[in-house]
């Protein structure tokens, strides 16, 4: 099994997750609503941290929940945890092994808070600290770079959001289209390989996303850094204007995730500025032709993808881009240097 195989497994894995975990997630959502938690505290690292970023936007916008990301070192290294005051504490980890993430849920239980683990290992230390466990059902992921475990974490976040809504029929109808949308993007594999050729000498770039796709900008940078060794920084388009835009001069590579939605026009204005004033080298992932037409390199996703689910779709071409660029640069897609599959931070 290779990284590319696992990228292509994602539609089937996500579909299986929908079928196998929907009832359990609906049950957990009812318990969370019954608990009437004041806010949500999410502990995660790396790729899983980006799933937490997605949750902070989605649960905030669709479920009116106040969501914050934990600082695990306060629990593990400093051993001075904050007062959690009855929060729902969520640990997101593919392996469920990292001691610092486990320590957050352990402290939450000591403080009498409800706890939830979202993990690919339902018998892991993280799962054992949780009142509720959601298995992301990704199956074994052998490649060091996470792909299907990331999209299944996103899907669990989206399913839980839908299940916490009073009328979730429409949301679940859209969720069931995710595998089809993913398959549509995967058909562009050869096209994305050709686009990646253009960036064979790239050694630095920025990746821009806003709203739900703030998470996507960070996840794309992880894939570029760990696989291609490109120095990549992710930004909200709003934060980018507050200084980092000074980086961009003629030919500087800027990757943009800009699907249709509430932040589209703001992002479009920035892309125009980057192209016309800064003469940047712009790659755009979008389902709006106006954004695609502005870019030197454009990757279209299906037109009917709603903004709230676009991170599950937009990350797929980003994964393929990173995979092909790694091969083009002559690096290993399976064994990136100096990192391992499971990272246990304390």
My answer on whether 171 and 220 are in the same domain is no
pLDDT given at position 111: 97
Residue 342 lies in a domain: no
Please, are residues 117 and 61 in contact by the beta-carbon 8 Å criterion? no
Answer yes or no: are the C-beta atoms of 283 and 295 closer than 8 Å: yes
Task: Tell me the per-residue pLDDT of 61-81, one tens digit each, with 9 for 90 and over.
Answer: 999 999 999 999 999 999 999
Q: Is residue 194 part of a domain?
A: yes
CA pair distance 57, 36, nearest whole angstrom: 19
On whether both 132 and 233 belong to a single domain, the answer is: no
pTM: 0.96
CA 287 – CA 259 distance, rounded (Å): 5
User: How many folded domains does the chain comprise?
Assistant: 2
What tens digit of pLDDT does each residue of 93-117 get? 999 999 999 999 999 999 999 999 9
CA–CA separation, 170 vs 63, rounded Å? Answer: 15
Residues 260-279, mean pLDDT to the nearest whole number: 97
Whole-number Cα distances in Å, 310 to 54, 177, 210, 259: 11, 12, 12, 7
Q: What is the pLDDT of residue 341?
A: 58
Tokens standing for residue 86: 């009855």
pLDDT digit string (tens) for 220-243? 999 999 999 999 999 999 999 999
121 and 201 assigned to the same domain: no
pLDDT (average), residues 146-162: 98
DSSP classification of residue 82 = P
Per-residue pLDDT averaged across 40-53, rounded? 97
111-153: per-residue pLDDT in tens? 999 999 999 999 999 999 999 999 999 999 999 999 999 999 9
pLDDT of 91 above 70: yes
Structure tokens at 120: 């690919």
pLDDT per position as a tens digit, 186-223: 999 999 999 999 999 999 999 999 999 999 999 999 99
Domain annotation covers residue 39: yes
Q: Is residue 343 part of a domain?
A: no
204 and 165, same structural domain? no
Shared domain check, 151 and 15 = yes
Q: Is residue 202 part of a domain?
A: yes
**227 with 336: CB under 8 angstroms?**
yes
How is 263-296 classified by DSSP, letter by letter?
THHHHHHHHHHHHHTS--EEEEEESSHHHHHH-S
The alpha carbon of residue 303 and the mean position of all alpha carbons in its chain are separated, in whole angstroms, by: 20
Judgement on whether residues 164 and 61 belong to the same structural domain of the protein: yes
Does residue 158 sit in the same domain as residue 207?
no
Task: Mark which of 121, 145, 176 sits at the end of a domain.
Answer: 176
Q: Which two three-digit tokens encode residue 312?
A: 């599950």
Q: Report d(CA 280, CA 274) in Å as an integer.
A: 6
Sheet containing 115-119: which strands, arranged edge to edge? Answer: 67-69, 40-43, 88-93, 115-119, 132-135
The last residue of one of the domains, among 114, 144, 176, is 176
Q: Are residues 57 and 102 in the same domain?
A: yes
Share of the chain above pLDDT 90, in %: 95
Alpha carbon dihedral 73, 77, 79, 85, in 10-degree steps, equals 10
What is the C-alpha separation between 255 and 262, in angstroms, rounded?
A: 19
Q: Is the pLDDT of residue 185 over 80?
A: yes
Q: State whether 194 and 128 are in the same domain.
A: no
Answer whether residue 48 shows pLDDT above 90. Answer: yes
* Mean of all residue pLDDT scores within the chain: 96
Q: Please indicate, yes or no, if residue 337 is contained in any of the structural domains.
A: no
Range of the domain at 296: 181-329
Single out the residue in 119, 148, 176 at which a domain terminates.
Answer: 176
User: Could you tell me if residue 152 is inside a domain?
Assistant: yes
Confidence at 1, pLDDT banded by 50, 70, 90 = low
Q: Are residues 209 and 263 in the same domain?
A: yes
**CA–CA separation, 145 and 47 (whole Å):** 9
In a shared domain, residues 47 and 139 = yes
Contact status, residue 311 vs residue 212, Cβ threshold 8 Å: yes
Percentage of the chain with pLDDT > 70?
A: 98
In the numeric block, which tokens belong to residue 123? Answer: 């018998």
Residue 37's closest CA among 92, 96, 112, 105?
112
Q: Does one domain contain both 238 and 317?
A: yes
What CATH number is given to the structural domain containing 270? 3.40.50.10490
Distances (CA, A) of 28 to 31, 43, 237, 297, 316: 5, 19, 35, 43, 28
Instruction: Report the pLDDT averaged over residues 332-346.
Output: 78
The burial of 252, by beta-carbon neighbours within 10 Å (0-12 exposed, 13-18 middle, 19 or more buried), is given as middle
Asked whether residue 340 is assigned to any structural domain, the reply reads no
| Cβ neighbours of residue 151 closer than 8 Å, sequence gap 6 or more | 10, 13, 14, 182, 312, 315, 316
């Amino acid at each position: 099994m290779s990284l590319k195989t696992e990228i292509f497994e994602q539609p089937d894995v996500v579909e299986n997750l929908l079928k196998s975990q929907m009832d359990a997630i609906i049950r957990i959502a009812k318990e969370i609503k019954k608990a009437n938690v004041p806010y949500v505290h999410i502990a995660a690292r790396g790729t899983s941290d980006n799933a937490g970023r997605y949750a902070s936007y989605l649960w905030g916008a669709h479920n009116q929940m106040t969501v914050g990301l934990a600082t695990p070192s306060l629990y593990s290294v400093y051993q001075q945890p904050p007062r959690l005051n009855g929060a729902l504490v969520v640990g997101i980890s593919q392996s469920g092994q990292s001691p610092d993430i486990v320590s957050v849920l352990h402290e939450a239980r000591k403080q009498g808070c409800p706890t939830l683990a979202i993990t690919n290992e339902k018998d892991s230390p993280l799962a054992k600290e949780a009142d509720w466990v959601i298995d992301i059902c990704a199956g074994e992921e052998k490649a060091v770079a996470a792909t299907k475990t990331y999209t299944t974490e996103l899907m669990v976040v989206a399913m839980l959001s839908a299940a916490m809504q009073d009328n979730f029929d429409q949301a679940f109808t859209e969720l069931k289209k995710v595998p089809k949308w993913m398959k549509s993007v995967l058909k562009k594999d050869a096209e994305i390989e050709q686009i990646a050729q253009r960036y064979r000498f790239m050694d630095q770039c920025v990746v821009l996303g806003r709203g739900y796709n703030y998470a996507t900008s960070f996840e794309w940078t992880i894939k570029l850094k760990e696989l291609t060794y490109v120095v990549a920084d992710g930004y909200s388009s709003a934060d980018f204007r507050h200084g980092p835009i000074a980086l961009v001069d003629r030919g500087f590579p800027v990757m943009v995730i800009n699907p249709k939605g509430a932040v589209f026009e703001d992002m479009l204005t920035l892309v125009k500025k980057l192209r016309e004033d800064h003469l940047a080298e712009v790659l755009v992932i979008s389902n709006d032709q106006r954004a695609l037409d502005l870019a030197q390199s454009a990757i279209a996703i299906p037109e009917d993808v709603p903004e709230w689910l676009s991170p599950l779709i937009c990350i797929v071409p980003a994964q393929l881009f990173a995979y092909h660029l790694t091969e083009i640069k002559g690096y290993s897609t399976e064994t990136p240097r100096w990192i391992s599959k499971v990272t246990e931070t304390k």
